[in-house]
Amino acid sequence: MSTTTTSNTFENDFHKNHIQINNFQRGLLTVGSAFMSIVDPYRADMIACLGETAGTSAIMYMMRKMESSEEGAEILRQKPRINSQTVDLDKLKKYPEGTLGRTYTRFLEDNNVTPDSRLPVQFIDDVNAAYVLQRYREAHDLFHAILGMPTNMLGEVTVKWIEAIQTKLPMCIGAAIFGPVRLKLKHRNLYKNYYLPWALETAHNSKFLLNTFFEKRWEQPLNELHKELNIKPLVLPNT
C-alpha cells in the first residue's frame, strides 16, 4: 500500500468517525468516563473516551517524541493501520518461531484477542493528533507481545505502567495506579516484588515504543528487537 493511500485511508476514517464537541461537553465526558473507568476497568469505551477528552497534552507530547525520531516520523507520514485488513495474519503465522510476526500472532491466539477490537478516535479535532492516539491503541497488543505480558489484570497493569510513563496518557496513569487493587493476593505479591520494579525500569530505560514501525519488522527476531529497544525480558524466580 502506498504512503498516500494509507494516509488518506486514515483521514477518511477520521472524518467519518469524528464528533465535534464543545468545552462543556468535553468536561462532562471527562468526568463521566473517568468515574466509569475506575468503577469498571473493563469498560474499553469509557477508557477510550477519557484518553480523547483528557489526553491532549499527552498526545502532543507523544507526537513530538515521534517527530523527533526518523522511524516515528515515517509512521506519522504514512499513517499505517494495524488490523486484519492491513496485516496478513495468516502469513505472519507462518513466520519462524521467535520472530516479531509469529510472536504477535501467537499472542493473539493465546489470549483470544483480535486487532480489530480497537475503537476509532472520535473526539479529537486534529487529524494528526487523532492518528497518534489511534496508533497507540492499535499498537497496544504489540506492546503486550514484545513485553511478554498476557491480557490478565497482572499483565495489563504492568503494561499500563510502561505506557503511563512513556506516553503520559491520563487513562494509562489511572489504570496503573488503581488497577493493582483488583489483583488477587498471589498476583499482588508478584506485582510488588517483580512486575512493578521491572515495569518501571523498562519504561525509563527502553526506547519510546511507539516509534517502532512494527509493520516493517515482522521478520525481525524478537531478541534482536529487544536489544534495539533496550528491553530486558522479565525473569521470574523458579516457583
18 is in an annotated binding site: no
Task: With CA atoms as reference, report the closest residue to 132 among 171, 89, 169.
Answer: 169
140 is in an annotated binding site: yes
97 is in an annotated binding site: no
Measured CA to CA, the distance from residue 233 to residue 214 in angstroms comes to 18
Measured CA to CA, the distance from residue 215 to residue 81 in angstroms comes to 9
In the chain, the amino acid numbered 8 is N
Q: HSE of 167 in the Cβ direction (CA atoms, 13 Å)? A: 28
Q: How far is CA 239 from the centre of its chain?
A: 30
In the chain, the amino acid numbered 60 is M
Task: With CA atoms as reference, report the closest residue to 209 among 175, 170, 159, 172.
Answer: 159
- Assigned C-alpha cell, 65: 517524541
215 is in an annotated binding site: no
Annotated binding site: 140-141, 144, 156
Annotated binding site for Zn(2+): 140-141, 144, 156
